[in-house]
Each structure stands twice: as structure tokens, then as C-alpha cells.
Amino acid sequence: MDGYLIVNILAALLILTSLLVVLTKAPRRAAYIYGAQAIVIVGMLVTLGVLTNSTELFTWAGAAFVTKVILVPTMVLVALNKMKIGKDEKSASTISPVVSIVVIAAEVFLCFLAVTNIHLPTALEVKPALAISLAHFFIGLTCIITQRNIVKQIFGYCLMENGSHISLALLAPQAPEVVEIGIATDAVFAVLIMVIMVVRVYRSTHTLDSSQIMNDKG
């Protein structure tokens, strides 16, 4: 099998896992699904590293495994445990699952149209993956806007960060490791700060529903 085909297939799995993160009503389940998506990202980085002879991408893959597969889901799960949020806790959305699927499909389609005019040598073989990585910015934004659970909104930010991460790997596979370390560090600290804030908000309001939090504030 062509190596670039593997990258594009893994990118398709990213869409599936992102859709599940948005649609699942249980924040705890979303954390596990995000961890699964992170494993797919590691696989993409390793495959790209082999195809492009980029030792930098192997370092990226290692950093992604530590930060995305382990640290981010662990921080969220620890926070859920502190708040005593069980696996059956449900979250609400401002739109139905069917509408969410239609919106995400439209975002992916528009990004496919956008990359058709990109003719960079590094992107010719991975245009589907590039379109999907770009779509993750909008998918993450959709998650933030439509999900009322503030833990789910954190995952919206994480999906956006994953999209930028993969886009950089696809377009600049020889980028120095320090770039990846900087991105990963920023993302982890951002999630840590958001998780701490969520715990503090929950202890004050006893809810993770953003609409109720805003009403209480009012």
C-alpha cells in the first residue's frame, strides 16, 4: 500500500474520532475518544517521518504521544474525578446530532475545495489529509460554540490544536523539533489552565452547563 494513502486513511479516522468527540454526551467518554484520536495522530506523524525521511517527525510523534495521548486526557479525567462527574454524566448541545453531522460534513467539503488550489510539493500527495487537518479548526470551533458542557468546549480547543499540528507536519515535515515542543507545551499548559478553571467554576456553581453558569452570573 502506498505510504501516502495510509496518511490519508488515518486522516479519515481523525474525522471519525472528531465527530464522536462532538456527538458524545459524556465528557469522560470524550476524553477517551480524544486519546484514541491522539494515537491516530502519532501514527500519521510516524508514517510521514518514514515517507519524508524526517527524523524531526519522529520526535514530534514522541512528544504527541506524551502530551496528547497521556497528559491531556489524564488531566481532564483527573478533573472529572475531582468534581465527582461519573461516566453517566450527560452534556447538552445547542443543535441536534444530525445538524452537527451536516455542519461538520459541510466544513470538510469546503476545506477540500480550498486545498484544490494548493500546489506545494509537500502537499501534492496528502491533499485529503491537509483538507481534513484544516477542517479541524472549524470542527473545534463548532464544538466550542454548540456544546454547553464546558469540558466538551475544552476538547473543541484541542481539536483546533490538533488541526494546526497536523497541518504543520504535512506542509513542513523538516521543521525543527523545537517548533513541535513549543506547540505541545503551549497546548498542555492551556489545557491545564482551562481544567483548573473548570474545577473552580464547578465548585462554585455545581454545574458544567455554560448556559446555567451565565444565568447564575447574571
Series of mean pLDDT values for 10-residue runs along the chain (218 residues)? 83 94 92 96 93 88 92 94 78 85 95 84 80 94 92 94 89 76 80 93 87 69
Query: What is d(CA 63, CA 188) in angstroms, rounded to the nearest whole number?
Result: 11
For the stretch 79-109, pLDDT in tens is 999 998 876 667 778 888 999 999 999 999 9
Query: What is the residue-averaged pLDDT of the chain?
Result: 88
* 213 contacts: CB under 8 Å, gap ≥ 6: 150, 201, 205, 207
| pTM of the model as a whole | 0.90
* Three cell numbers written together for 173: 515535515
Host domain of residue 202: 3-217
* Three cell numbers written together for 2: 502506498
> CA-based angle 212:217:218, to the nearest 5?
95
Which DSSP category does 206 fall into?
A: S
Nearest to 59 by CA among 195, 164, 181: 181
| Domain count for the chain | 1
pLDDT at 87: 67
CB atoms < 10 A from the CB of 27, how many? Answer: 26
pLDDT at 122: 64
* 105 contacts: CB under 8 Å, gap ≥ 6: none
